[in-house]
Amino acid sequence: MSKTESKKPKYDLIYGPHAIGEMLKAKKRKLISIYTTKPLPKSWERIKKYLPQSIPNIQYISKDALTRMAGSDDHNGIIALTTPARFASKMFNPKERPFILLLDAIQDVRNLGAILRSAYCVGITSVVLCRKGGAELTPAVYKTSAGLAEYLDIYFAPSINFAVNEIKNAGYNLYLAVLQNGKNALEVEYKKPACLVIGNEEVGISKEAQKSGSLITLPQSRADVSFNASVAAGILMFNIFNKMK
């Protein structure tokens, strides 16, 4: 067994009723065990109808123990252990996935979760994440996405430059969101297949990567502030999805 294989987690931890409920509905991975309190929390009703008839292993522990296990008190009284999530092994086919999302080093787990949630709501099914500098897909990401990240096909690229080259070579038109000096994002005529690129919250998209496609800027009435990354991503995804030709 290689060192890489030995480091792969044997299970994932998911907490919160919405995230666990969507995981069970998606049926992409196997439930190993559930940790909860006794008596059962009110949030149990949210997942009860999706649970298998025979729960593999249910453990009753205290709220404090749940908090220590989750590393957060945002678990709503339920934690699930599951088999690891599966990710795409190669770049997406533009004929099958005409609109994809590339996230470059999004560091805040709540931003990442919110963006993935919006992507699913808009109709995007495929997302490329860059391993270098970005947040990992932690339990907090799944919780913030309300579990909707479960339905997305996710491909990991080693870096933003590798990702944009691979996406461009696949045949996608890249539209890179920048804070200034891009074309008005609401007026651009977007062409299929399209890839929207959202950059890091602090520094945006690297200068080198910006050369790979069309720069777009979301207009705003105030010049001294900017949209939160997840809010901007949601607006841009909805706009592009509805204007693509």
Query: Could you tell me the pTM of the whole model?
Result: 0.91
pLDDT score of 30: 93
Q: Which helix (H) or strand (E) holds 12?
A: strand 12-15
| Local structure of residue 88 (DSSP, 8 states) | B
Domain boundaries along the sequence of the chain? 12-82, 99-244
The CATH number of domain 99-244, selected from 3.30.70.20, 3.30.479.30, 3.40.630.30, 3.40.1280.10:
3.40.1280.10
Nearby residues of 19 by Cβ (< 8 Å), 6 or more positions away: 139, 142, 143, 145, 146, 147, 150
Just give the CATH number of 12-82.
3.30.1330.30
CB atoms within 10 A of CB 7: 7
Q: What is the rounded CA–CA span in Å between residue 179 and residue 86? A: 34
Give the helix/strand (H/E) hosting 232: helix 229-243
Mean pLDDT by 10 residues, the chain (245 residues): 51 94 95 95 92 86 95 94 94 96 95 97 96 90 96 96 96 95 95 96 90 94 83 96 87
* Alpha-carbon span 1 to 181, nearest angstrom: 50
